[in-house]
Amino acid sequence: MNDLSTLTIADARDMLRAGEVTSRRITEDCLVAIEDAGALNAFVTTTADKALAMAEAADQRRTNGDDGDLLGIPLGIKDLYCTAGVRSQAASHILDGFVPPYESTVTNQLWEAGAVMLGKLNMDEFAMGSSNEHSVYGPCVSPWRRTGDPAPITPGGSSGGSAAAVAADLCLGAIGTDTGGSIRQPAAFTGTVGIKPTYGRCSRLGIVAFASSLDQAGPFTKTVRDSAIMLRVMAGHDPKDSTSADLPVPDFEAALTGDLRGKRIGLPKEYREGLGAETDALWAQGAAMLRDAGAEVVDISLPYTKYALPAYYIIAPAEASSNLARYDGVRYGHRARLDQGDGIIEMYQKTRAEGFGAEVRRRVMIGTYVLSAGYYDAYYLQAQKVRSLIKRDFDQAFETVDAILTPTTPSPAFGLGELQGDLMAMYLQDVFTVTVNLAGLPGISVPLGLSATGLPLGLQLIGQPWGEAGVLDAALALEQRAGFAARPERWW
């Protein structure tokens, strides 16, 4: 069998268990696919030798009686995760040459489960961006293109490399991070499934921090079932991470039924403001699918949604300003060349000016400003109060509904470079996703159809805290009824 990289995780698992294929064979096909897809710039580091060794070890484990869900499954890893002995740069010049001696908790759990690392994936620098254009490696390109138009399309951001790699069948699954929509938005843009679990469900240890109270790890997959399989392995309590929840991890795959009888799904009226006709029609179609699955669909209100984006763009840069203060050119990464007479202050200034890209510098300056004396109360404190009100909106909504259905993005993916001169339009790409991070809730994006220009469109389901099983089940109901099977036409 050729093109084993096109398999879903569930299908590959079944074939491996039946002895129909080996992990090495699947891994070899993935490595060939990666080598042939240089035009996408999705993989920025390929660990071929390591991948083959891990695949052979997985095959031996299976011979010895192990049959874990991810045993022998080749995955891609966002460059934000620290991977022992493998370059981990967060797509930033300031981390040039950084090779961590330790493994992030999430990737360590994947390797313990027998998964195979194919390499590291492109992203926006320090996860700051919605288009994967802010990367020291250069932009990642989506495998999708508009019908009849060869112009390159963004895969979304910041986890653009993860989304593009899964959509182009370079790997069976990938991991990303989501601070304001950085898993769900790229998933919607590329026709993949992406879930951001509840804040605290997955450990953040070994993930380069952007905004510590918002960041959360999650998987990209080809199907909802695959997301359930990956998330179960990624999740769990980590005593080394004080924000990691000490709660049991359900068997998310076993909970999948697609039967929503007795469930109530809310449609927030505030999300209709400024919505394009195409996305609005998709939303109505998704609601009808949930009704067909047995759910009662009702209108709800989330009145503080309109303040979410400005609150997010105060809180996230403030936390980034604090987190990125550690990059000074002293201990690791890039250090600027100094002139005679330069002291430590000049070293800090030159190193950070050279090492950080324009978007990171912009957010660090905003964050420093809103945390400064005289402005803290007016900006940062007010944003935290808004965050509490947004969380209260969701708490009140979940008193009457089990999940919430919304668009994932306002529109299909845009072309690379099209929004570079319009920061507001770029930031508005996250308008439907940031509320979920501010409230710490689980959210998933599921592909439902194609736009008039032939690009994927997705809807988002938002669940109650620790309600990933219910969100995945509702997502399965959508997936089954949408029957989304479109694949990008190969041009690379």
| From 23, 78, 88, 159, active-site residue | 78
Known catalytic residue: 263? no
| From 5, 130, 131, 158, active-site residue | 158
User: What is the end-to-end Cα distance of the chain in Å, rounded?
Assistant: 22
Known catalytic residue: 158? yes
Give, in degrees to the nearest 5, the angle at Cα 277 between 273 and 278.
125
Nearest-10 crossing angle of helices 105-112, 224-234: 110
- Residues 178, 293: Cα–Cα separation, whole Å: 29
| From 23, 182, 227, 445, active-site residue | 182
- Residues 277, 15: Cα–Cα separation, whole Å: 43
Q: What is the DSSP letter of 336?
A: P
Q: Which long-range contacts (CB under 8 A, 24 or more apart) does 239-246 make?
A: 240/105, 240/203, 240/205, 241/105, 241/203, 241/204, 241/205, 243/199, 243/200, 243/204, 243/212, 243/213, 244/200, 244/202, 244/203, 244/204, 244/205, 245/198, 245/200, 245/201, 245/466
Known catalytic residue: 78? yes
Judged by DSSP in three states, 175 sits in: strand
Buried b (16+ CB within 10 A) or exposed e, 192-207: bbbbbbbbbbbbbbbb
- Cβ proximity of 430 and 159 under 8 Å: no
Q: Where are the beta strands (DSSP E) in 222-284?
A: 264-268
114: nearest Cα among 220, 245, 229, 197: 229
Catalytic residues: 78, 158, 182
